[in-house]
């Protein structure tokens, strides 16, 4: 797969509506996680890839320590730790895309860079965050059955993650379009953008609570010699039934 082909596909991606950008990014993010997990598991016996995840683990531990010092170690402190950790990651991703047009606007005006360079960097960062190598590396030591714990909360976590990427891209091409004239957002468009951004913490807050529960389910099933798949199904089936009926 050539770089020119990727550039063509990314150019078509930028022309999509917001919803379609989100859907594409959501599925690519899951694909990226699957690919990096598989590669990490294959090379982990040869090269210890887990050390590459030290910074991510350390970040969570710092947040967890700060939260638990205020709330104690309980379900909600773990929930909030996951939420804050993931939200900070999403805000960082969003800010990277927000900063890019300001940097390249200045460099282009000084003749130090071009729109083509800006487009290439947008593509590079998009591919990097979608592949999400650190998360895949952190899962290298997990068994395949343990990886089931990623799926339930992952539906919401990756929704927030994808939303931060797409909103970052949308803001970038608004501030510095890769082609054509710069659009002027109306007040209504700005409010819609803000409301979309508020979906990020909502998705991540739900994911934080579910992630805590998911690992409790995995550990409970393993300690009691139960099927992890069956235990997940029974727990979530009963939760949904109690909420709906």
Average pLDDT, the chain: 82
Residue 49's pLDDT band (cuts 50, 70, 90): very low
Of 91 and 137, the one with more pLDDT: 91
pLDDT in the model for residue 5: 84
Each residue of 10-36: pLDDT tens digit?
999 999 999 999 999 999 999 988 888
| Per-residue pLDDT at 209 exceeds 80 | yes
Residue 58's pLDDT band (cuts 50, 70, 90): very low
pLDDT in the model for residue 139: 61
Residue-by-residue DSSP string for the chain = --HHHHHHHHHHHHTS-HHHHHHHHHHHHHHHHHHHHHHHHHHTTTS--GGGGHHHHHHHHHHHHHHHHHH-SSHHHHHHHHHHHHHHHHHHHHHHHHHHHHHHHHHHHTTS--HHHHHHHHHHHHHHHHH-HHHHHHTTTS-TTGGGGHHHHHHHHHHHHHHHHHHHHHHHHHHS-SSSPPP---HHHHHHHHHHHHHHHHHHHHHHHHHHHHHHHHHHHHHTT--HHHHHHHHHHHHHHHHH-
pTM exceeds 0.75, yes or no: yes
């Amino acid at each position: 797969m050539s770089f020119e082909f990727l550039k063509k596909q990314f150019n078509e991606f930028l022309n999509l509506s917001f919803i379609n950008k989100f859907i594409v990014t959501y599925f690519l993010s899951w694909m990226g996680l699957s690919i990096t997990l598989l590669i990490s598991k294959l090379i982990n016996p040869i090269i210890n890839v887990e050390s590459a995840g030290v910074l991510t683990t350390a970040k969570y531990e710092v947040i967890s320590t700060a939260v638990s010092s205020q709330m104690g170690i309980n379900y909600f402190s773990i929930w909030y730790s996951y939420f804050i950790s993931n939200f900070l990651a999403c805000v960082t991703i969003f800010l990277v895309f927000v900063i890019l047009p300001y940097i390249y606007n200045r460099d282009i005006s000084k003749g130090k860079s071009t729109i083509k360079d800006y487009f290439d960097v947008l593509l590079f960062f998009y591919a990097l965050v979608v592949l999400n190598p650190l998360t895949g590396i952190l899962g290298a030591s997990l068994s395949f059955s343990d990886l089931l714990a990623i799926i339930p909360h992952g539906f919401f976590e990756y929704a927030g993650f994808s939303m931060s990427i797409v909103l970052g891209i949308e803001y970038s091409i608004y501030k510095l379009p890769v082609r054509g004239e710069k659009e002027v957002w109306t007040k209504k468009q700005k409010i819609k953008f803000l409301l979309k951004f508020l979906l990020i913490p909502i998705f991540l807050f739900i994911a934080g609570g579910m992630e805590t529960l998911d690992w409790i389910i995995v550990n409970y099933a393993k300690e009691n010699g139960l099927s992890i798949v069956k235990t997940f199904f029974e727990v979530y089936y009963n939760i949904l039934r109690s909420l709906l009926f």
